[in-house]
Chain A
Amino acid sequence: GQQVMQIPQYQHVQEGEDFTTYCNSSTTLSNIQWYKQRPGGHPVFLIQLVKSGEVKKQKRLTFQFGEAKKNSSLHITATQTTDVGTYFCAVFKKTSYDKVIFGPGTSLSVIP
């Protein structure tokens, strides 16, 4: 079946360093979503990517969708303590009306 992998599983960075998490799928994707979950909280939507090679920015966060639509990345520039949390990618199995598969997440710790 379809698999969604995320690397790394954990990342510890010094405040001010950059951070990148990668999401890889075994199949071609229609779109991909990214969520952030703060410790003790619920997942919160960050962004959705649809087009091959798409790049979107939100302040210090840069999201990219691979050319083959099988992978995506989230890059944070100059991390802050407010970036702490787990970052998940999520994909629809087939269509937008279908089953959703979440990656296992990347847990980010920021050392002040």
Chain B
Amino acid sequence: EAQVTQNPRYLITVTGKKLTVTCSQNMNHEYMSWYRQDPGLGLRQIYYSMNVEVTDKGDVPEGYKVSRKEKRNFPLILESPSPNQTSLYFCASSFWGAEQYFGPGTRLTVT
């Protein structure tokens, strides 16, 4: 089954404790992306990757890191999470310029 998976689905952590949210897709898509969704602000792109080893900043990259060492995986790293990073995070993948497939989301709470 074609899908985008994210782990964990829910995470509660404390300020400053490094965390990684994993994202994996099985559709051989070149383009992968991370979004955060906050009430009233819609979906905002954090980082995107056009292919292996090629990443670029979206609209809200501050406080986040990504890597794309393999085509299927695109982890999101928060080196020192802060409460303003409490949000709902979505990973997505697609062929260039085509429909994006979204993962189920990761709800992160930073206290």
Q: Which A residues contact B (CB, under 8 angstroms)?
A: 31, 33, 35, 42-45, 48, 88, 90, 92, 95-97, 99-105
Contact = CB atoms under 8 A, between A and B. Distances in A.
Interface size class of B (residues with CB under 8 A): 20 to 34
Nearest to A47: B99
B102 A44 contact: yes
Interface in B24-73: 31, 33, 35, 40-45, 48, 50, 56, 58-59
Nearest to A2: B59
Contact of A99 (B45, B92, B98): B45
A42 B43 contact: no
B74 interface: no
A97 B103 contact: no
B56 A99 contact: yes
Contact of B103 (A31, A42, A88, A103): A42
A43 B43 contact: yes
B31 A88 contact: no
B102 A97 contact: no
Contacts of B98: 48, 96
B48 A99 contact: yes
Interface string B97-108: 111111111000
B48 A103 contact: no
Contacts of A33: 99-100
B90 A104 contact: no
A102 B42 contact: yes
7 contacts: A42-B102, A43-B102, A45-B101, A88-B43, A100-B45, A105-B42, A105-B43
Nearest to B31: A97
A49 to B, nearest CB: 12
